[in-house]
Amino acid sequence: TTTASRARSCMLRFYKTGTADEARDEAKLRASLDAAGSRLSSLVQERCYMVELKPGTTLSTDDEARLCWLIAETFEPEKTSRQSFLKLSPGATLLEVGPRLTFSTAWCSNALSICAACGLGQVDRIEVSRRYLFSASPAVVPADVPRYAASLHDRMTEQVYPTPLDSFVSDAVAAPTRTIPLMAEGRAALERLSAELGLGFDEADLEYYTKLFVSELKRDPTDVECFDMAQSNSEHSRHWYFGGTIVIDGVPQKQTLFQMVKATLKGPKVVDNSII
C-alpha cells in the first residue's frame, strides 16, 4: 500500500481496560517514579486498538459490532468501548506508547488473519497501544516524561505517541547505504562499524571478513552487507558453539551440545508428542 493511499484510509479506535498486564506496568512506573524521588498518586490504564481500513472501504454496523466482539475477547464486554476510559484532569500526565510505525507487528499479522476469517477483509492494519493517565507527588514535569516512558516500552520495537495516531504513515527515511573503507583502513574499519552498529563481531569474524574482502573480493563492503553477515553468521543462525566439537581438558567429547539436547528425543520412553 502506498503512502498516499494509506493517508486516505480510515482509522478506528477501540479502548479496553482491566487487562492482565496492568499490574506489571504499574509496578514499572512506580519504580521509575520512586527512583526520581516522586510518588505515584493515581494511575488509570487502557489499551487502544487502532484499526486502519483499506482505502475506500467502511464497516457496516454489523461489521463494527463483530470487530468489537473480537477485540473484547472477554466475558466483560463493558470493559471495551469506542470511547476512552481515561478522563483528563488538571495535573495529570497522559502517556501513550505503541509499536513503531515503520513495520507491522506479528500480532497484527495474526489479527488480520482472524479478521479476514470473520468476514472483515476491510481491515488493513491493526495495532495496540498502551495509554497511561497518572499523577505523582511532586507533580511530573514534561521534561521528565521520557524517563518514565523508557520504563514502559521497548525502544527497539516501540515508540512514544505524543498525540493519538490518525494514520500509520511514517515519516522515517531510510539511511543511505555506506561503503566501509576496509581496503584503505583494514580491520580497524570493521571493528569501528561493529561497535557502532552493535554487530558483535568476535576475533574470528573480524579476521575472516577482513581477509574475505581485502584479499579475495578485493573491494570494500557496504554497511548493509556487514549487518547481513552479522545476522546470518551469528550463533543464533549457525550454532557454531552448539554444533561444534567440545574439548574438555584436551579430550574431544563424543557429542556436541546439540546432540546432547536431541538425545532426549531418543529412547524407549519417548512418545510421539514429546517436546524439549
Mind giving me the DSSP string for 17-28? ---TTHHHHHHH
Residue-wise pLDDT tens digits, 144-194: 999 999 999 999 999 999 999 999 998 888 889 999 999 999 999 999 999
- pTM attached to this predicted model: 0.72
pLDDT level of residue 20 (50, 70, 90 thresholds)? confident
> Rounded distance, CA 260 to CA 47, Å?
44
> Rounded distance, CA 214 to CA 187, Å?
9
Give the helix, strand, coil percentages of the chain, each rounded to 5.
Answer: 40, 20, 40
Residue-wise pLDDT tens digits, 63-118: 999 999 999 987 899 999 999 999 998 889 999 999 999 989 999 999 999 999 99
Please give the residue that has the higher pLDDT: either 265 or 95: 95
Residue-wise pLDDT tens digits, 29-61: 999 999 999 999 999 999 999 999 999 999 999
CA distances from 25 to 29, 36, 135 (A): 6, 17, 15
> Rounded distance, CA 235 to CA 213, Å?
22
- Residue 2 class from Cβ within 10 Å (0-12 exposed, 13-18 middle, 19+ buried)? exposed
Q: Give the H or E element holding residue 235.
A: helix 235-238
